[in-house]
Amino acid sequence: MKLENKVAIITGSTKGIGKASAMIFVAEGAKVVVVGTNKERGDATVKEILAAGGEGFFQQTDVTDEASLDALVNATMEHYGRIDILVNNAGVSGTTANMNDISSDEWNTVLSTNLTAPFMLCKKIIPVMEKQGSGAIVNVASMASTGAGRGGLAYTSAKHGLLGLTRQMSMDHGRNGVRINAVLPGPIDTEMIARVLTIPQHPVCMKIKMSPATRAGAPEEVGKAILFLASDDASFIHGASLAVDGGYTIF
């Protein structure tokens, strides 16, 4: 098993890519802290983890609220006494408005969830990992981290920022034993883009059809890439941006 006895926090792990990653991590022996705002979905995810013979617990957390993040870190340390892996996965697509139409509130919501939350959580967890002398962080960025497109101003800005955060933190903390990388999913079949995927004429669907994979990805396909970067198989990989997009961004 690739993550035997490792303690992993995965934000936004009650559905979509985060939940798929949680189940993959558990199958590889990790103890997973399930993180999200929705208690019902969180409890259901933990039930699935236990039914699969795994270990974990749910911590109800709003990643945009610093006190909530403190409670998450404290609860994890109380339960397990260490944090080996952090996956900053929670995200919102938010508005696709451009500069003429976007409100400051809309901007702040997208930036605080997709960029400031990973910053705040890394600020709390990197010292724990440095003290341990080891740790791996995987940030779930996006195809919107490397180009402009359908995501809109706030989402594209936040995901570009997340790549910068990944690279700079990797420079600053890699030598202390903390490996920090990013996955860049393309269109993945989750609630986030479910509506878009039902419209064949939508530019995203048209581009998917032209891409090498000719389809949207499954959450598990991103989860496996996250597993790779979080595991010792990626021991020489620091600050990388791994596209998991079926070739969507190569043309």
Closer residue to ligand NAI (CB): 29 or 167: 167
CA dist., res. 112 & res. 107, Å (int):
8
Q: Is residue 230 a contact point for ligand NAI (CB under 6 A)?
A: no
Closer residue to ligand NAI (CB): 112 or 176: 112
Q: Which positions are catalytic?
A: 155
Give the tokens for residue 193. 């883009």
SS3 content of the chain, % helix, strand, coil (to 5): 50, 15, 35
Q: 138: helix, coil or strand?
A: strand
> With the C-alpha atoms ordered 170, 144, 244, 141, is the resulting torsion angle positive or negative?
positive
Closer residue to ligand NAI (CB): 4 or 166: 166
Exposed / middle / buried, residue 192 (Cβ in 10 Å: 0-12, 13-18, 19+): middle
Minimum CB–partner distance for residue 90 and ligand NAI (Å):
4
Site string for ligand NAI, 17-36 (x = CB under 6 A): xx-----------------x
Buried b (16+ CB within 10 A) or exposed e, 48-68: bbeeeebbbbbbbbbbbeeeb
Q: Segment contacting ligand NAI (CB under 6 A): 42-50, 62-70, 166-174, 224-232? A: 62-70
Q: Is residue 192 a contact point for ligand NAI (CB under 6 A)?
A: yes
Q: Is residue 64 a contact point for ligand NAI (CB under 6 A)?
A: yes
Question: Which residues have a Cβ under 8 Å from the Cβ of 174 and sit 6 or more positions away?
Answer: 180, 238, 239
Q: Is residue 188 a contact point for ligand NAI (CB under 6 A)?
A: yes
Q: Is residue 95 a contact point for ligand NAI (CB under 6 A)?
A: no
Binding site for ligand NAI (CB under 6 A): 11-12, 14-18, 36-37, 61-64, 89-92, 113, 140, 142-143, 185, 187-188, 190-193
